[in-house]
Chain A
Amino acid sequence: MKKNIASHIVHGMIVIAIGSFVFWQNNSTTVPPDKNNVNFSTAAISKAVLPLPNYRSTKTFMQSQIAEHTLRSSCWSIINGNVYDLTGWIPQHPGGEQAILRLCGKDGSEQYNAQHGGARRPALILGGFKIGILSK
């Protein structure tokens, strides 16, 4: 019995150790974006913030609500009818912060489609920041 408890404790400590190491590794890796070579390298996007699990991506927003979020500290944008909270992505965007800051509080579909239209990886990354859809 004691041996079982001890082995479970050891296993639990190994699990915690692995988790701690992965957490430490992810938080100690920072690569500044290279403005001359725009790419979506994994290091460049390693610290962007993911939406919380309780985000309701079908929640509707009015355009006036998006217009209230124009700051670096709270940046929302409309892209192709969907609403995104891009705050966490601003420092991580490989093409520089200004490219995202320009979209805050407004419809960024034209800029996004011109730069990334049809590309799978930017679309998948963008999807991670979706918080709802634009009310019609």
Chain B
Amino acid sequence: MNRYNAGVTILRMGLATVFLWFGFSQLFDGVNWISWVPEWAPAIMHLPPAMIVLFNGVFEVLGGTLLMSGLFVRFVAVLLSVHMAMLVLSIGITPIGVRDFGLTAASVALVFLVE
């Protein structure tokens, strides 16, 4: 494995770990996450915040699993990039928003790096 492939693998698995962690957390401890659901989301999706959290958890676990396995990486990275960008816009310039901006940038980087 050359340095480029090693770097991409580390980036991919690091991001996968993050999405898996937070995805499982939303599935097992959803009430904790309800307050993070943006106010526009229930109105647009016509779903209660609790269900949005559950669906988001499933999405992040699936995305994280595919990233971890190295399957459909570019496609998953695009979806997760868009997902994270929406979160950043919703959270704004806070410590968590800045951290999530870093995760967004890492996801976008993966889109460009994967062959």
Contacts and interface: CB of A to CB of B under 8 A. Distances in A.
Which bracket fits the contact residues of B?
Answer: 20 to 34
Contact of B25 (A26, A125, A129): A26
Interface stretch (A14-22, A69-77, A97-105, A106-114): A14-22
12 contacts: A12-B65, A19-B24, A22-B24, A23-B28, A26-B25, A45-B31, A46-B29, A46-B32, A51-B50, A55-B48, A125-B35, A128-B49
A11 interface: yes
B9 to A, nearest CB: 11
Interface of B: 17, 20-21, 24-25, 28-32, 34-35, 37, 42, 48-51, 53-55, 61, 64-65, 68-70
Given A15-B65, A18-B17, A18-B24, A124 B32 contact: no
SS class, residues of chain A in contact with chain B = helix
Interface in A39-59: 40, 42, 45-51, 53, 55, 57
